[in-house]
Structure 1
Amino acid sequence: MTTTRTSTITRRSFRGAALALVTGAGIALTPVAASANAGGPAPVASAPVALAAAPVVAPNSAAQVAVDTALAQQGKPYVWGGTGPGGYDCSGLTYSAYQAAGVSIPRTSRAQSTAGVPVAKADLQPGDLIFFYDPVGHVGMYIGNGQMVHSSTYGNPVAVVPVDSMWGYNTARRVV
């Protein structure tokens, strides 16, 4: 009898590629809780279910274009000094996203942290820029629901992450 064996590396590579594809398409994987069903068949263990991410609704059209542009870059590599389209650093992503919206902001994260008006963390709206560290050394764009899109560091592509997963919150600014 012949046995086909799939290597752990192949399975991991496939799993990672599938996760990248699902994440890049804006689909979130969430577990579904089993519910008790008195008198019915025994519940089956739940598997993650793909749910479409809620659409981002920005407060104005320029912020909407910036958010949509930044989100469209998910999966592209971090490139120091990069302003796209092949790769981005943190401020290059926000700079390019707002440039696509017809809004001029400075190029570096530190300079961007002086643009627009200050916003309290509790009042963030999609399109607001969020700054980290002291002195400022990183920027992301708030997209709603406690999440931001950013290009964090070499080896990590542009991605959506919870704002609170980043340490060193400094301030936030609204540029439109």
Structure 2
Amino acid sequence: MFCIRCGAECEDYEEGGVLRQRCSRCGHIHYQNPYPCIAVLVVNEQGEILLGKRHKKSIYPGKWCLPCGYIEYGETYLEAALREVKEEAGITSPADGIINVVSNQFDNGVNSLVVVLLSHYRGNETLKPGDDIIETGWFSIENMSTLPPLAFSADEFIITKYKNMLAEGSMTILTLEGNSVYGH
């Protein structure tokens, strides 16, 4: 690896038990951070959730997931959420609030930090898979064993947490500004 500041070759450097790269010339430490991502738990008026089946060329092909993806440079997490739902499912469904933040560590070495939003879909657009999703559908969460195989363990956690919060009547989400908490 070469330094992004001065172009000199970097060397291994251990800090706090973590192996990092440090520039041999200017001393700049290159931190490897998780990728910022977004996931959206879209719920329709029947209480079903939106899932998409992953393309054969994506990580975990043939498995299902919530609409999700990377937050692009220059866009907000809300813009990313709208974009991902539109790209992957063909619908427009603005977010209501933040319901969780999760971390993913994938088999391909990618690490992500995912802001999870809740969205209640009230439109009448037809689902249309796109991007890295080849099929979309609405699924009941009444019996979790009837869900298709999920790509990410974080999605199972999110769906289960949402189902439990509904059952307990304790739906707590952060406002989109992140300044306060309110309950439903």
Shared fold, TM over 0.5: no
TM-score, normalised on structure 1? 0.30
Q: Which has the higher strand share?
A: 2
Q: Which has the higher helix share?
A: 1
TM-score, normalised on structure 2? 0.29
